[in-house]
Amino acid sequence: MQRLILKSLFVAARMKNPKLRRELCYFVRDNYYCKLVQGRYVVPDYLVKKKYKVISYQGEFDQELRYVIPFAYWHYLNGTLEKTVSAQHTKEFYFFSQNHEERFKERIWKESYAHYDVPNMTHSNFYSFRKWAQVPYKSHFRNDIFVYDKPLLVIANKYNIEWDQSPINYLDIPALDHIIRHCGSRYQIIYNRPLPTQIVQDNSETMSLDEHAWLRENHPQVILMDDLYKQYKGSVVTNYNHLQLMVYANSDHFISMHGGTAALASCFGGTNLILSNPNWGLESSFNEYVTLFPKLSGAKILHAKDRAALLDYVDKTF
């Protein structure tokens, strides 16, 4: 029955989106089916409204931030959230959940496509926000610890395998040098690129960029998130994700890379400049930097399609 319904929904997606590439219609189809599945929960969600919902997720961090946690937060606000289950070091992301289990030691990216019980599960040109609530990370984690003489600018970089290719969306050392020289006098820059041991990995192997040593030697005024973690682990923060949440909550200025890095930086308001090559990934194909990412916190999203465009945004914005 499910296969027949999915075939019918694919036909509907093709008819409603005749200009969309055929392979992209499968994503639209899946989100159609997600909305259809929610019909099963009309009575418990809107009439009975007792705690019953168990939300378990082991997929990509990006999709967890975009779809799963806002769904869980809606259930919390609705009074129907019973339990949440996710990867290690995610308790702070689910701060609202009174019963959160950190069960998984690794993330499985293909597992993200098995969540038809979440109203939105993947890329689409149409999202349902009926059971989706903006999570107030900024107000919850704002603090007086990570406060400096100048406003914060967080550079959230990455350097890892993407789509089984060499790194695509990242800031190299010349780009970092440009940003720091342009912004350093007006902002306290915090540089963030988590090490493999600090976060739960999926299929994207983290590689060495050797920028931390370069930053310490050439721009010692830049604060490294890795150094903050060594300083505050155990006394202020319980894990690296907790540190990210606390630092990001005190910032209104972000530069981030395609994927989970960009999604996280979009959860704290302010302005987020995102480097995302439109030839890779589907955010650009579905216009999600306009329709979805601003919804995460009300942030202003500026999408740069290549490194030169991002540096131009930096010069004009920061």
Please state the domain extents for the chain: 2-134, 140-317
Q: Tell me what pLDDT residue 259 has.
A: 92
**Paired sense of beta strands 53-56 and 223-224, if any:** unpaired
List of residues 6+ apart from 123 with CB closer than 8 A: 24, 27, 282, 283, 285, 286, 288
308/287 Cα distance (integer angstroms)? 21
Type of residue found at 274: I
Q: Is 225 within 8 Å of 192 (Cβ atoms)?
A: yes
DSSP 283-296: TTTTTHHHHTGGGG
**Does the domain at residues 140-317 carry the CATH identifier 3.30.420?**
no
List of residues 6+ apart from 207 with CB closer than 8 A: 159, 160, 161, 167
Q: Is the dihedral of CA 255, 140, 221, 214 positive or negative?
A: negative
Q: Tell me what pLDDT residue 191 has.
A: 98
pLDDT averaged per 10 residues, the chain (length 318): 90 92 92 93 97 95 96 98 96 98 88 81 90 98 98 95 82 97 97 75 70 96 96 95 97 96 97 94 93 98 97 97
142/250 Cα distance (integer angstroms)? 6
Q: Enter the tokens of residue 119.
A: 């109203």
Q: How far is CA 223 from the centre of its chain?
A: 22
Burial (CB count <10 Å: 0-12, 13-18, 19+), residue 248: buried
- Reported residue count of the chain is 318
156/262 Cα distance (integer angstroms)? 8
**Cα separation of the two ends of the chain:** 54
Q: Is 49 within 8 Å of 80 (Cβ atoms)?
A: yes
List of residues 6+ apart from 21 with CB closer than 8 A: 285
Partnered with residue 74 across adjacent β-strands are: none
Q: Is 281 within 8 Å of 258 (Cβ atoms)?
A: yes
Q: Nearest Cα to 202, choosing from 110, 85, 66, 91? A: 110
50/44 Cα distance (integer angstroms)? 7
Q: Tell me what pLDDT residue 56 has.
A: 96
